[in-house]
Chains A and B, each alone.
Chain A
Amino acid sequence: MNNLKIKKLYALSSENKKFSFSLPLSNKIRIGKRDYVVSLRSDEKYGTYILWKNRKYPVEVVRSRQNKYEILFNDISYTFTVETPFSLKRMKMLSLKKGKAELEVIKAPMPGKLIDILVREGSEILRGEPLVILEAMKMQNEILSPVNGTVSKIIAKPNTNVMKDDILIEIKVK
């Protein structure tokens, strides 16, 4: 794929919204019949920001990994994968073959102490059923199952501290 002429790039949001941009990437974005200039700037007072229609928006790159970017824009986080027409086509084919994800990985939504694990390996669970109790900033939070399925693996141990995004439990989705 080297030296392949790419005319377009697509930024796909985590909710599968597609934003397409022509190459070379312009700083003019057409809305209706007008072009608006977007510019990425940085100064001492505000740090990095985007200037758009005379308003400053704070931006940060929270994470960047391969073609995946988490952008904090005006205090809201967005995750995009940037795809070329070729990679987009390949992705579509792959997702058709694979079907839905089979394994649901339960991660710690926040750092804290794991107080209790309420399920066992092999437990049949329903969506909304509590899986673990995590204590964070003095509140005990129940982490509920987002899916129906069977607990295939318990990775976390009770009475241990976990970091944000640590994998706690894996569920085989039904």
Chain B
Amino acid sequence: MKIKKILIANRGEIAIRIIRTARTLKIKTVVIKTAAEPNAMYLSHADEIFDYNEETAEIPVFLDIEKLIEIALTTGANAIHPGYGFLAENAYFADKCLDNKIAFIGPSPDSIYKMGNKTIARKIALANKIPIAMGSEGNITNEEEAIAIAEKIGYPVIIKAASGGGGRGMRIVRNIEEMERLFSIASKEAEKAFKDPSVFIEKYIENPKHIEFQILGDKKGNVIHLGERECSIQRKHQKLLEEAPSCALDDKLREKMGSTAVRIAKAVGYYSAGTVEFLLDSEKNFYFMEMNTRIQVEHPVTEVITGIDLIEQQIRIANGEELKMKQEDIKLKGWAIECRINAENVQACFAPDPGKIENMQLPSGPHIRIDTGVQPGSSIVANFDSMIAKIIVSGKDRKEAIKNCKLALDKVWIKGTKTTLPFFRMLVRNQKFLDGTFTTAFIEKDLDKYYYNSEYEEMLAAWLATKLFVEENLQENSIQIDFENTKNLSPWLLNKRINQF
């Protein structure tokens, strides 16, 4: 069965990313219009829009397995691409697709299940002599058990959700008092996020680097890796900046970690694109953390340095095609950095700042790739993630990539919400980032300010505040301040105001 039409069970930039490749392969695409985002940008890119107007639905359509299958069957799509998030790592969904003779563009339900359940994944890793951090054998059901294991392997430990991912249900625990408090929080969060309260405990590796390997496997059992990505710049396990390759690896270590990643993928009969995540400690020991059985948000950095279109490979593999390249064909060329521009307030602990994008100008050029799902007029809604755009910048080496990144960041212009831009502007000037010696603790430990502003910016803002005050309160230099009366000026009123000057 050759894939002719793909239903994209996702939204935003990843929907557009999938459509872009599908088009080059002459495959039709279907997207779903939801009540939360009736004017979303991804809708205009697809060949066909399915209008999902059941506003009474209890769960978002992207999480509704029965409904998605029904939409695929109704629209005649013979494949589903889940993107990332939502149902991308749901074995039952993958299974349901196959039951209905719909190709699932991803790995087998069995691989998803084995890698998705962290306690099973740990057992598989142990059986295959893959290095892992010490921890509980299986799931832990209560606080007493958690305390006993933590005492045995020694604090600090990390509680993780058995069905988890993306940092949810995860807590670092440094002593018995914290365990008493955090165990139930982690378990409750796991239950809420993954409908499974099971958690397990691992020794917490202090100040590691997050290194992950991109894997590609076909249905014939060929598995290769496309090198690593470093994602140590993260906050509360949410990645902010990723780069490929990593300056912590040399060819020897890359070969060692890469072949370990291939080994664990083969152990579960893995096909499609996948990512094996490791923690790398300061002594260059590495530990298997988990495998993500989907396309990752940060896949573009690997595409840039390998020249391989990962979505194309996913589709070809789902079609039953054999991998055309071998491990020795994979050459890493240059350096790529991805900055996730999110609608978040870096001055308020990265709190989401949903809103309407009033204006947006994004740079372009030979070293710049932009993956985005929003345009001026789009809204960042609280129902979904806060991503505005991924700015992917390359260079011949790390130094040049950072230089190009710095230039590109100054050309990004977004109005309407607060964004993570000031964070990245700070990062590309930070010595530890430039040295490459940062770890996953960087944001929490090494920074006292999460943003960058040049010398005169605050003074200019003060000038603007003063100007507005003069205009509102002072006429002919006489003061008329009505302190009882509160003025509420819409941010967009400023536009009109200045034209009156």
Are B481 and A67 within 8 A (Cβ)? yes
A81-101 Cβ-contact flags toward B at 8 Å (1 or 0): 010100000000000000000
Chain A's closest residue to B490 (CB) is: A61
Q: A72-B418, A140-B189 are in contact. Are A47 and B467 (CB under 8 A)?
A: no
The segment from B222-230, B241-249, B451-459 found at the interface with A is B451-459
Complex Cα distance, B54 from A68, in Å, reads: 44
In the assembled complex, the CB of A84 is this many whole angstroms from the nearest CB of chain B, namely: 7
Complex Cα distance, B388 from A93, in Å, reads: 47
In the assembled complex, the CB of A131 is this many whole angstroms from the nearest CB of chain B, namely: 13
In the assembled complex, the CB of A153 is this many whole angstroms from the nearest CB of chain B, namely: 23
Could you say which residues of chain B place their CB within 8 Å of the CB of A9?
A: 466, 469-470
Question: Which of A19, A130, A135 has the most chain B CB atoms closer than 10 A to its own CB?
Answer: A19
Which of A1, A65, A78 interacts with B461 by CB under 8 Å? A78
Q: Which residues 471-501 in B have Cβ within 8 Å of A in the complex?
A: 472-474, 477-481, 483, 486-489, 491, 493-495, 498-499, 501
A155 proximal to B (CB < 8 A): no
Question: Which of A47, A60, A75 has the most chain B CB atoms closer than 10 A to its own CB?
Answer: A75
The segment from B273-281, B344-352, B439-447 found at the interface with A is B344-352
Which of A23, A48, A75, A84 interacts with B419 by CB under 8 Å? A75
Q: Which residues 55-79 in A have Cβ within 8 Å of B in the complex?
A: 56-67, 69, 71-78
Which of B352, B414, B487 interacts with A136 by CB under 8 Å? B352
Complex Cα distance, B473 from A23, in Å, reads: 13
Are A109 and B465 within 8 A (Cβ)? no
Q: A61-B491, A76-B422, A133-B185 are in contact. Are A11 and B466 (CB under 8 A)?
A: yes
Are B478 and A80 within 8 A (Cβ)? no
Could you say which residues of chain B place their CB within 8 Å of the CB of A71?
A: 461, 464-465
Q: A66-B483, A82-B469, A138-B193 are in contact. Are A6 and B474 (CB under 8 A)?
A: yes
Q: A19-B459, A78-B461, A133-B185 are in contact. Are A42 and B489 (CB under 8 A)?
A: no
Q: Which residues 1-36 in A have Cβ within 8 Å of B in the complex?
A: 1-6, 9, 11, 13, 17, 19, 21, 23-25, 29, 31
Q: Which residues 92-138 in A have Cβ within 8 Å of B in the complex?
A: 109-111, 115, 130, 133, 135-138
Are B167 and A139 within 8 A (Cβ)? yes
Q: A31-B456, A77-B347 are in contact. Are A25 and B467 (CB under 8 A)?
A: yes
In the assembled complex, the CB of A23 is this many whole angstroms from the nearest CB of chain B, namely: 6
Q: Main SS of chain A's interface residues?
A: strand
Could you say which residues of chain B place their CB within 8 Å of the CB of A40?
A: 464, 467, 498, 501
B98 proximal to A (CB < 8 A): no
Chain A's closest residue to B487 (CB) is: A64
In the assembled complex, the CB of B129 is this many whole angstroms from the nearest CB of chain A, namely: 35
Complex Cα distance, B359 from A65, in Å, reads: 25
Which of A29, A56, A58, A136 interacts with B351 by CB under 8 Å? A136
Q: What are 8 A-B interface contacts by the 8 Å CB criterion?
A: A6-B477, A29-B463, A48-B498, A56-B413, A65-B487, A73-B458, A75-B418, A140-B185
Measured CB to CB, the residues of B under 8 A from A are: 167-168, 181, 185, 188-189, 192-193, 236, 345, 347-349, 351-352, 354, 358-359, 361, 382, 385-386, 413-415, 418-419, 421-422, 451, 453, 456-470, 472-474, 477-481, 483, 486-489, 491, 493-495, 498-499, 501
Which 6 residue pairs of A and B lie closest in terms of their CB atoms, listed nearest first? A110-B351, A19-B462, A11-B462, A82-B469, A64-B489, A73-B461
